Structure 1
Amino acid sequence: MSSPYIVLISGGSRGLGKGLVERYLARPNHLVIAANRNPSATASKSLFDLPKGEGSKLVVVKLDDTVEADAAAAVKDLEAQGIDHLDLVIANAGQASVFPLVRDLKHADLQSHIDLNVFGVLWLFQATLELLKKSKTPKWVTMGSSAGSIGGQQPVPNAAYGPSKAAVHWLTKRIHAEEEWLTSFVMHPGYVWVQTDMGLFSAKVFGLDESGTQQHLLKEGDSHPGMMKVIDEAARETHSGKFWNYEGKEEAW
């Protein structure tokens, strides 16, 4: 059997990240790395019970995206386990915990979103760069959001999460321009929110009842096949430096 396709997914123990871990792990000949802040937690340990495709394997590695040194430490841990390259990195970990108007935005709230949603992605990219270079078909995917769109800005209070996503969108597009060997793009998982813990919390903050939630939020898992299809088909010439949704349509920055 040929060497496995190696995928690293941050925030891999819950929500969108867990769904991606589950689906990549179900494919044959994949080595899936679920990075999360607490590998000893029940949610992390339960990942080992997920079905595995023929020849596929799961690795769980500690990564707290708010700690600058963690991404480099995680890569050293992986290298110590014999992992010498990465084919795909999905920067999925993120935070959306408050939704203020700009006039009410607190420094601490904006900073906490930037720490995870921007610096967490930046540190992960910097730490995995050399392992991506060793892949024949390296891909970098940032989990984005329409909340970070400038041209299609949504008419809702979102002065902490929105700017953090706009910033990480910019960084990902710039990665495309600077790293000509790499396919790098932003992936939007669907509509406004997906029915993950974070999405359901957000919907509750905005006053959506059960009917509104079912109408406006994608069910958790509905977007995964589409996202994976986009990632599978992605090439530098066609996808890199752009903002894609789970249906394979290009979004406006």
Structure 2
Amino acid sequence: MASKVVLITGANRGFGRALVERFLALPNHTVIAANRSPEHPTSQTLAELPKGKDSRVIVVKYDAAVEQDAFDAVKEIEEKHGIDHLDIVVPNAAIAKSFPFVREVKRADIREHVEVNVLSVISLYQATRDLLQKSLKGPIFAPMGSLGGTLGRQPNIPSASYGPSKAMVSWYGIRINTEDEWLNAFVLDPGWAGTDMGTAAAKALGAESAMITVDEAMDGVFKVLTTATKEKCGGKFMSYTGEAEIW
């Protein structure tokens, strides 16, 4: 039986690493852990994670800020590692560097967040699309979104650089699902969890900590990813709780 192949970006820490751990523990899975620094200790230790029967992890270089990296990573997994299809792609790599009010946000800060958080999703979709189409198991393309990028439920916190970038991710998630009838594309809401980025955001906004743990968030996200159908999730904003939320 062909291995189920999952590609996760930003995979050496936080949400990405937690998802790698969960998929790698399943039998007959190939997990592609894409991140900026394959030689970093956080990447090297991915090989030591517990594995299910006949499962393996492949670490590849991928910088979300570099357009060509998505295409180079796909070329590497095809030519060096013999990957001939992808079943799940999770664009997780993102930044949240500043939390300004609209009255003070700098154009350069908006551009940087859009470059990493939005354009990387588009490039990764374009780079992985052919391999996703070769999946026989209902392929999934599910970028990480954020409550901070919602319109109808926008939280009352300053986020004029990060928030709009995540709103754009939602637009593309809906559009990709519409354009490709064969692909189950949706946006994930992992909640406000205690990743390095989530904790830093909490402190920047005057809170003591994030609302939930990384394990709570990724247990839920993992369940969504492993049970999703296009009818249930396609073109929707799926919470880690398993419910479709209002954009």
Shorter-chain TM-score tier: over 0.9
Please give the alpha-carbon distance, in whole angstroms, between the structure 2 residues aligned to 1:58 and 1:35.
10
- Matched letter for residue 117 of structure 2: N
Q: Helix, strand or coil: the match of 1:104?
A: coil
1:240 to 218, 234, 237: 234
Say yes or no: does 1:204 pair with 2:203. yes
1:221 to 215, 226, 235: 215
Say yes or no: does 1:58 pair with 2:48. no
2:158 maps to what in 1?
A: 157
2:67 maps to what in 1?
A: 68
- Matched letter for residue 130 of structure 1: D
Structure 2, unpaired ranges of 5+:
none
Using the TM superposition, give the Cα deviation of residue 222 of structure 1 relative to its aligned residue in structure 2, in angstroms.
1.0
Please give the alpha-carbon distance, in whole angstroms, between the structure 1 residues aligned to 2:11 and 2:223.
19
Using the TM superposition, give the Cα deviation of residue 227 of structure 1 relative to its aligned residue in structure 2, in angstroms.
1.1
TM-score, normalised to structure 1's length? 0.95
Superposed CA offset, 1:141-174 (max 9, x none): 1101010000111100000000000001100100
- Matched letter for residue 152 of structure 1: R
Please give the alpha-carbon distance, in whole angstroms, between the structure 2 residues aligned to 1:107 and 1:55.
48
**Larger deviation: 225-234 or 151-160?**
225-234
2:144 maps to what in 1?
A: 143
Say yes or no: does 1:82 pair with 2:76. no
The count of residues paired between Structure 1 and Structure 2 equals 245
Using the TM superposition, give the Cα deviation of residue 237 of structure 1 relative to its aligned residue in structure 2, in angstroms.
1.5
- Matched letter for residue 143 of structure 2: T
**Pairwise CA RMSD of aligned residues?**
0.8
Structure 1, unpaired ranges of 5+:
none
TM-score, normalised to structure 2's length? 0.98
Using the TM superposition, give the Cα deviation of residue 116 of structure 1 relative to its aligned residue in structure 2, in angstroms.
0.6
1:169 maps to what in 2?
A: 170
- Matched letter for residue 26 of structure 1: A
Using the TM superposition, give the Cα deviation of residue 26 of structure 1 relative to its aligned residue in structure 2, in angstroms.
0.7
Q: Helix, strand or coil: the match of 2:187?
A: strand
1:13 maps to what in 2?
A: 12
2:122 maps to what in 1?
A: 122
Say yes or no: does 1:230 pair with 2:231. no
- Matched residues, percent identical? 48
Please give the alpha-carbon distance, in whole angstroms, between the structure 2 residues aligned to 1:232 and 1:26.
13
Please give the alpha-carbon distance, in whole angstroms, between the structure 1 residues aligned to 2:65 and 2:218.
25
Any residues of structure 2 matched to 1:22-33 within 5 Å, and which?
A: 22-33=21-32
Superposed CA offset, 1:96-120 (max 9, x none): 1100000101011111100110011
- Matched letter for residue 243 of structure 1: F
**Structure 1 runs, 4 residues or longer, greater than 3 Å off:** none
Using the TM superposition, give the Cα deviation of residue 208 of structure 1 relative to its aligned residue in structure 2, in angstroms.
1.4
